[in-house]
Structure 1
C-alpha cells in the first residue's frame, strides 16, 4: 500500500476527493479543511494499493496539483486494516508487478546525477577492479562490481527513452560518459603509481589470468548476460525489490572492463585496451537495450490491464 498526503487549493478539493473515491483500490480517505499553511489549502490523506497508484497520481497531475499544491507519496510497511486488504484485492494486478512511473523517473533522475559522490564511487570501484585484474583476484572483481554505481545512469537512459524525457536522457548520458572517463583517467594514474612502487607489473597483467581474463575477451555470452542483467535490474527498480540490484551489479563486467582498459593503457597494451573497451561497450549496450525493452513491456502490460478494468467498470 501507498500513503498519499495531498495539499489542495480549496477550489480543487472536491475534484481531488471525487478522483480518489472513483479510483479502485483507495481507502482511508481523510479531508482536513484549511489545515495547510504553505501552500494554503486543505490537506487530503488517503491510502491506495500500489497497483492503482500510477493511475491516481496521473489523475492528480492532470488536475495540476503538483503546481498548485503538493503530492507526497510514502510506502506503507505495515497496514492492519480490513479495508486496506479489500482495496488491494479490488485493485487490478499484483502490487509486485506495479510500476510507479513518476517514482521511477524521480529515482533514476537522482541516481543519474553527475555528483562528487557518484564520481568517487565509480573511481574507487575502478581502482579496486584494477587491483583485481592485476592480481587475478575474483573476489576483488566482485567487490568492485558491487561498489560501482553505473546502473543508475543506464536505468535513466532506458526510463528517458520510454517516458520521452530528453533532459533525463542527457543527464544520464553525461553521468555515464564523464563518470567512466574520469574513473579510467584516475585509474591510469593509479596504475602508474602502483608500477612505480613495484606493486603492479606488466608481466602480471599480460600473464595467465584464469580468473579475470574474461574482462578483455568479449563474446556473445557477454552480451547475453548483460541483457539478462539489464532486465533483472529494471524489474528490481520498478518492483521496489532493490535486493536484486546487488546480483545485477556482480553479473556484468562494466567496471572491471574499464579498469583493465585503464591498466593496459598505462602499459601501452593496445590489445587488452581495445578488448576491454569492447567488453565495456557491449555490456552498456546490452543493459540499456534490455532495460528499455523491459519498461516497454511493462507499460504495454499495465495499459492493457487498465483498459480491461475500465471496460469492466463501464459495463
Structure 2
C-alpha cells in the first residue's frame, strides 16, 4: 500500500479531483501557501498496482515532473472504498504485485551508491573475499558478499532499458565494468602482497584449496546461479520486498570468482585465471539478461507511449546481444563441464579396472588400499596426468607383471598416455 502526496498546480485542482473521484479514490486536500505556482496538496492512498496507472492519468490531466509527487509506504489503510480499489487492481499475478514505474526507477537509483563509496566497498569486499578464499573459509567468503554493493548497478541497467532511461543504463553499465576491474585488480594486488610476505605457505597449491579450486574450472551450473540471482533480484525490487539477501546472492555470483581470478594472477598462473574470469563475465551478463526479461514480463514500459516502439527495438537488440554472448560463454563452460565428465568417467573406469585385476586368482593375496588420480595444471580444461595405485600384499614382494598389467588396463580408457604409479605396502596378518 502507498500514500501519494501530490502538489496541485494553479488551475488544475478541479481536473485532478475529478480524476480521483472518477476512480473512487479517497483523498484529502490541503491548501498550499508556500508557492503561487501550486494551490493545494492532495493526499490519497493506493494499492501498489494502482500507483502507476493513477499517476499516469493524473499527469495527463496536467501534472508534470516539475511538480512534487511523493510516494511513501502505508502500513494500514482502513476504508471500504480502498478495499474495493484493491480488488479492482490486484489479481494475484506478478504484474499486479509490482511497484510503479516511478518507484522502480527511484529504487534502482537508490541502490547504487556514489562512485567513491561504490569503489571503496567493492575493493574491500574483494580483499575480504580473497582472504577468505586463501584461508579456505566459507564464512569469510560469505561475509565479503554481504558488503559488496553490486545489486544496484546489476539491476539498474535492466531498469534503465525497460523504462527508457538511458542515463541510468549508461551509469549502471559503467559501474559494472569498473566494479569487475576493481575487484580483480584489488584481489590480485592483495594476493601478491600475501604471497610476497609469506603469510600463506610458500608452496601453496591453488587446486588444493577447496574454495578456490571449485571456481578455477566452473561448469554450466554457474549459469543457473546467475540467472536465478538476476530473476530474484528483479522480482524483489519490483515487488518492493527486501533486496538485501538477493544482493548477497548476486555478489556470490561475482565477488568470489573475481577473487579467484586475482589470486591466480598473483600466483603467476594466468591460464588458471581464465576460468574464473569467464565465470565473472558470464554471471554478470546472465544477471543483466534475466533482469531485462523479468522486468518486461512484469509489464514495465516507458512513460511515453510514443517511446514504446523505440524501447522495444532497443530491448530486443540488447537481449539478442546478451543471449549471443552468454551462449558463447556457455559453450566454453560446456567444454569445461564435458572435460570434468570425461575425467570422472576415467577415474571410475580406472578404479574398476584395478579392482577387476586384483580380483583375479593369481592376485588374490593383494588388495587395493588407495586409488588417486592426479590432475594436470592445464586450467581450465584439466586432464588426468598420473594415477597412483597403492596395493597391500604379503611381505615377500609383488608380482613384477602387476604394474605392467595395471598400466595397460588403465590406459585403455584415455586418449592420451597417463603415467601409472603402483605402490606396494607389506601387510602382516597375525
TM-score range, shorter chain: 0.7 to 0.9
**Structure 1 residue aligned with 2:31:** 33
1 or 2 for the larger relative contact order (CA 8 Å, sep ≥6)? 1
* 2:76 is aligned with 1:78: yes
Q: What aligned pairs does 1:61-210 form with structure 2 within 5 A after superposition?
A: 61-94=59-92, 97-201=97-201, 203-204=203-204, 206-210=206-210
- The count of aligned residue pairs is 298
Q: RMSD in angstroms over aligned alpha carbons?
A: 2.4
Go from structure 1 to structure 2 and tell me whether the alpha carbon gap of 1:242 and 1:294 turns closer, same or farther (over 3 Å shift). Answer: same
CA contact (8 A) 1:202 1:267 kept: no
User: 2:212·2:260 contact (CA, 8 Å) conserved in 1?
Assistant: no
2 CA distance for matches of 1:261 and 1:238? 33
Work out the CA distance in 2 between the residues paired with 1:64 and 1:113.
Answer: 33
SS at match of 1:5: strand
Consecutive unaligned residues of structure 2, counting only runs of 5 or more, are 302-430
**Is the Cα contact below 8 Å between 2:225 and 2:253 reproduced in 1?**
no
Contact between 2:150 and 2:247, CA under 8 Å: does it hold in 1? no
Residue 62 of structure 1 and its aligned partner are, at CA, apart by: 3.2
Deviations 1:200-237 (A, max 9, x none): 45643524123442222221100112111211111000
Structure 1, unaligned runs of 5 or more: 302-315
Partner of 2:257: 257
Of 47, 50, 55, the residue aligned with 1:49 is 47
User: Does the aligned pair in 2 maintain the 1:187–1:262 contact within 8 Å?
Assistant: yes
SS across alignment from 2:12: helix
- Greater helix share, structure number: 1
Shift in Å, 1:171? 0.3
**Are the structure 2 counterparts of residues 205 and 156 from structure 1 closer, same or farther at C-alpha, using a change threshold of 3 Å?**
farther
Q: Show CA shifts across 1:153-186 (max 9, x none).
A: 1101111221222111110011111122223323
Q: Distance in 1 between matches of 2:201 and 2:11?
A: 72
Change beyond 3 A, Cα 1:86–1:258: same
- Structure-1-length-normalised TM-score: 0.86
**TM-score, with structure 2 as normaliser:** 0.64
Q: Can you list the C-alpha shifts for 1:78-113, whole angstroms capped at 9, x where unaligned?
A: 333444333322334249722311111122123235
Runs of 4+ in 1 over 4 A off after TM superposition: none
Whole-angstrom CA distance in 2 between matches of 1:134 and 1:38: 64
